[in-house]
Structure 1
Amino acid sequence: MPSEYNRQHERNPFQHHGFQRSTHSVAGSSSVSGSRPNRLSAPSRMQHDRVSRAPGVPCLPRRESMDPDQELRGYEGVCRLFPLPEVVLFPHCVLPLHIFEPRYRQMTEDALAGDRLIAMAKLKDGSDWNVEEDPPIESVACLGKIFDHRRLADGRYNLLLVGLKRVRLLHELPKDALFRRARADLLDDAYPETPLDSLREELVGQFRMFCEREGRVEPEIARLLDKPIPLGVLVDLLGHYLGLPGAVKQAFLNETDVEQRVQSLIRILGVQLGTGSEADRARDDSGFPPPFSLN
């Protein structure tokens, strides 16, 4: 397993499960497909000897009829926590994971024997993953469900986790196992009373312009732009697809107001395209948001 950010170009081991390949390297990946490095950040020396992460797949699972409310019908308000640095999962997106540390093997076994739910939680900036046993995590996480898995002969797991809903972590529970658990409330997207059709058109237009500038877009994402999916789902998928920094993705995850989320992504795209307002360009001059690329 890699002990630092890995930028190998390997075949996606989950491709045979019917998921699209990621075409961009992801920090902390154990298996990466792609042809060019992420322009967001240089490799870090952070050690990943507990878990490694395969590339995020910015698409809906093939079972597009998956209903989060139906999948979470038996949710009792307590979730298993899987904290990782710089990893943010969004609802309706798929994250391949390779599990090898004992605590997370136990977590996976417990999930598979029960409701199959795991909450991906981003470590707070400045947390030392290697020193602190239970480093602090963000208060909003994404509750996902194991969509597919494979147990390896030595007890490790490859699994696909599909995001279902945002959750607000209320408090962690006393440990009765190796892994962490927390009581958490489900969070729903909030829509205004008036339609957001014009905002949707602006978002899609900005995203298409950005893709034209980059010279490519995944066919699956291009098809989603024309599908009548809820705007909250669309902005989450695009936010996942863009190579945004972890802090920006976490801010998107924290925001349940769909209109605010869309406006934020439009603003960021505008800065990158040079079409943003003077105030937005001033933010860009300060170094935020940094340049990003397609995942």
Structure 2
Amino acid sequence: MVNIGDLPDLLPAFPLSGALLLPRSRLPLQIFEPRYLAMFDDALKTQGRLIAMIQPNPGRTADEKGLHSIGCAGRITQFAEMEDGRYMCTLSGISRFRLVGEVDGFTPYRRIEVNWDGFEQDRSVPDKDTAFDRDRFLTLLTKYFASRDLDADWETLKKADDELLVNSLSMMLDFKPEDKQALLEAPSLSTRRETLVTLIEYSMRGGDAEEMMQ
């Protein structure tokens, strides 16, 4: 469990469209732009080693800083420096946050002020989904992977607990940025699972609302 008192109100921001990080999940990243290499180096010097993953929001104006209102903070838990200076790293999701504003400064990367209120479940025990029909979900997932000619480690998927399964698929599957944002903002695991199922079914229909999955 993460104490809110251990979380800073100011974080370095990594605005990356289509990238989704969720609490208690892991996101692999490759960092190569000079400004984000500087951000990574600075984050490593802090006690929490936290980076704010947040999606750009094309619907917002330049005055609104062009960021979505909700993101997720991740802790650098693994990294390796390549010979060409790139970093290969893993962020472990700690908690979602609400964007308060952007902070001006002299860093080459963006920094944001955040508020952690309302996301207590993220920092507590894993969420539960009591209505989760796992067999039906895996059947749907099998059809989806077959329709996309995708491979999967089915043994690992079957053994994963509910939260890890839903969150990992939400992060991994190729949905539009706005769909990824909807998965991030889902207030509970059950809501995220329902959203994920809707997106999978819609994708399998090819966007044809008249043809329903059975």
TM-score by length of 2: 0.75
Q: Within the alignment, does 1:92 sit opposite 2:24 as a pair?
A: yes
Q: Determine if the alignment matches structure 1 residue 169 to structure 2 residue 102.
A: no
Q: Is the 8 A contact 1:189 1:258 kept in 2?
A: no
1:211 aligns to 2:145 (yes or no): no
> Paired residue for 1:182, among 102, 112, 125?
112
In the other structure, the counterpart of 1:140 is: 70
Which one has more relative contact order, counting CA pairs under 8 Å at least 6 apart?
2
- Aligned-residue offset at 1:153: 4.6
Q: Do the aligned residues in 1 keep the contact of 2:75 with 2:93 (CA within 8 Å)?
A: yes
Amino acid at match of 1:285: D
Which of 132, 149, 152 aligns to 1:200? It is 132
Report % sequence identity: 27
Given the superposition, is the C-alpha separation of residues 206 and 240 from structure 1 closer, same or farther in structure 2, using an over 3 Å criterion?
farther
**Root-mean-square deviation over aligned CA pairs:** 3.1
Q: Which has the higher strand share?
A: 2
Aligned pairs for 1:29-48 (under 5 A) are none
Kindly indicate whether the alpha-carbon contact (under 8 Å) linking 1:206 and 1:269 is maintained by their aligned counterparts in 2.
Answer: no
CA gap of 1:262–1:156, structure 2 versus 1, over 3 A, is closer
Residue of structure 2 aligned with 1:122, choices 45, 49, 55 = 55
Per the TM alignment, residue 158 of structure 1 is displaced from its structure 2 partner at its CA by: 1.9
Contact 1:188 1:256 in 2 (8 A): no
Secondary structure of the residue aligned to 2:174 is: coil
Letter in 1 for 2:103: L
Question: Secondary structure of the residue that 1:92 maps to in structure 2?
Answer: coil
Aligned length: 195
- Structure 1 residues 212, 96: closer, same or farther in 2, change over 3 A? closer
Separation in structure 1 between the aligned mates of residue 15 and residue 203 of structure 2, nearest angstrom: 30
Q: Are positions 1:76 and 2:8 aligned together?
A: yes
Write out per-residue CA displacement over residues 236-290 of structure 1, whole angstroms, 9 at most, x where no aligned residue: 223223332221111111222334323222333444567xxxxxx9xx4259xxx
Find the counterpart in structure 1 of residue 125 from structure 2. Answer: none
The residue type paired with residue 78 of structure 1 is L
Cα displacement (A) at 1:184 = 1.0
Structure 1 contact 92–237 (Cα < 8 Å) conserved = no
Structure 2: which 5+ residue stretches go unaligned?
123-127
| CA distance in 2: counterparts of 1:138 and 1:173, whole angstroms | 15
- Report the CA distance shift for 1:122/1:245 in structure 2 as closer, same or farther (over 3 A): same
